[in-house]
């Protein structure tokens, strides 16, 4: 099992940047593909970005391609989401997720979730 804790959320103006971090417990972080999801008020949770176990492959939702970057440091048990050129519509609670032996794709059945961190983008 793995426990996930997100950090780095906050309030930012449109056009600004934030970097989210997700720290994982345990010694087997490199066995897990990781993903970032978000849920805005009144909307369903949606996939944002994913990364495979080694960090060599990433995937993104069309809405964030070219603006967000997912990365990981297996030596630090941490996955990051660098968010640039933020838009008001990026406002949501962002969740980190893990899937053991996964690929880091939207279709992965992620089975471990963090508590989420709020990101608010003002106009």
Condensed to tens digits (0 to 9), the pLDDT of residues 84-108 reads 999 999 999 999 999 999 888 988 8
Q: What's the chain's average pLDDT?
A: 96
Report the distance separating Cα 42 and Cα 82, nearest Å: 25
Per-residue pLDDT for 27 more than 90? no
Q: Which residues contact 45 (CB under 8 A, 6 or more apart)?
A: 37, 38, 39, 95
DSSP H or E run through 95: strand 92-100
DSSP H or E run through 69: strand 68-73
- By DSSP bridging, strand 10-13 and strand 117-122 are parallel
């Amino acid at each position: 099992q793995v426990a996930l804790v997100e950090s780095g959320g906050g309030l930012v103006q449109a056009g600004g940047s934030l970097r989210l971090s997700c720290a994982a417990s345990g010694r087997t972080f490199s066995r897990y593909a990781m993903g970032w999801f978000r849920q805005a008020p009144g909307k369903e949770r949606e996939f944002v970005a994913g990364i495979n176990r080694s960090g060599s492959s990433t995937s993104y939702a069309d809405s964030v391609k070219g603006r967000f970057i997912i990365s990981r440091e297996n030596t630090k048990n941490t996955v990051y989401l660098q968010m640039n050129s933020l838009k008001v519509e990026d406002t949501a609670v962002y969740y980190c997720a893990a899937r053991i032996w996964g690929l880091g794709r939207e279709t992965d059945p992620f089975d471990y979730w963090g508590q989420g961190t709020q990101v608010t983008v003002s106009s």
